[in-house]
Amino acid sequence: MTSSSQELHRIVRINEQIKSVVRPAFRISVMALNAIMLARRAGDAARGFGVLSDELRRFAGELSQQMNGLRGLTASSVATVTALVKEARYLAISERITVVPPAVQEKLDEVRTRQRVAVHQRILTLRQTQASVRRLLTDEILPLMQLGTVLARSAHIEAAYGGRFAAELGQVSAEFSRTIDEIETALTALHKATGDEHR
């Protein structure tokens, strides 16, 4: 188990990476709405592009929801680490008390036992939260990202069939691809940050 300060530092890094995903996801939502309008102007030739743009908009919304879930888990981790630090400090103080009257010793032992149990529980809670973060990222977010990548590539292909709007659609699809790459880079860093406690 890492130290509390290392764990807080790791949580800060995770939160920064979450922001690095949410910002471009919002941009994709805005771009997708503009792309849908452009596809409507282009007519039948860009119908496929419009459908894919709408799917990218949905992808961005779902990704933002998943990132909010991650944000909630990291907030829970911060609360757990803070409580762990406080309880570990109280335990350390009580363990420094060495000379007490026999009548007080039993009570002191009870207090120490409760504090040890509390510290142990916080550590278990923190590990469970870390596992939940990794599970959400691995089982939900990374597969969703693969879908986003496929949608962006498909939009690029569909842009070529946009008739006289092909150049404009191509620019939009290139921006989709760049933004998806940006999200993928941030998610790779996020995945690495969530695995740091195993080092």
Structure token digits, residue 159: 């842009």
What are the b/e assignments for 44-73, b being 16+ CB within 10 Å? ebbebbbbbbbbbbebbebbbebbebbeeb
- Is the separation of the CB atoms in 49 and 169 below 8 Å? yes
Q: What is the pLDDT of residue 199?
A: 39
55 half-sphere exposure, CB direction, 13 A CA radius: 17
First to last CA, the chain: 9
Return the CATH number of 4-80+134-198, one of 1.20.1510, 2.60.40, 3.30.1760, 1.20.120.
1.20.120
Q: What is the pLDDT of residue 197?
A: 46
Q: What is the pLDDT of residue 1?
A: 47
**Contacts of 56 by beta carbon, 8 Å cutoff, 6+ apart:** 28, 31, 32, 35, 148, 151, 152, 155, 176
Q: What is the pLDDT of residue 7?
A: 85
Q: What is the pLDDT of residue 8?
A: 84
Residue listed under structure tokens 């089982």: 139
Task: Give the start-to-end residue ranges of the domains of the chain.
Answer: 4-80+134-198
152 half-sphere exposure, CB direction, 13 A CA radius: 25
Q: What is the pLDDT of residue 143?
A: 96
Q: What is the pLDDT of residue 196?
A: 54
Which one-letter DSSP state was computed for residue 165? Answer: G
pLDDT in tens, 46-75: 999 999 999 999 999 999 999 999 999 999
Q: What is the pLDDT of residue 193?
A: 85
* This prediction's pTM: 0.85
Handedness of CA 190, 194, 195, 199 (dihedral sign): positive
For the chain, residues with pLDDT lower than 70 are 1-2, 196-199
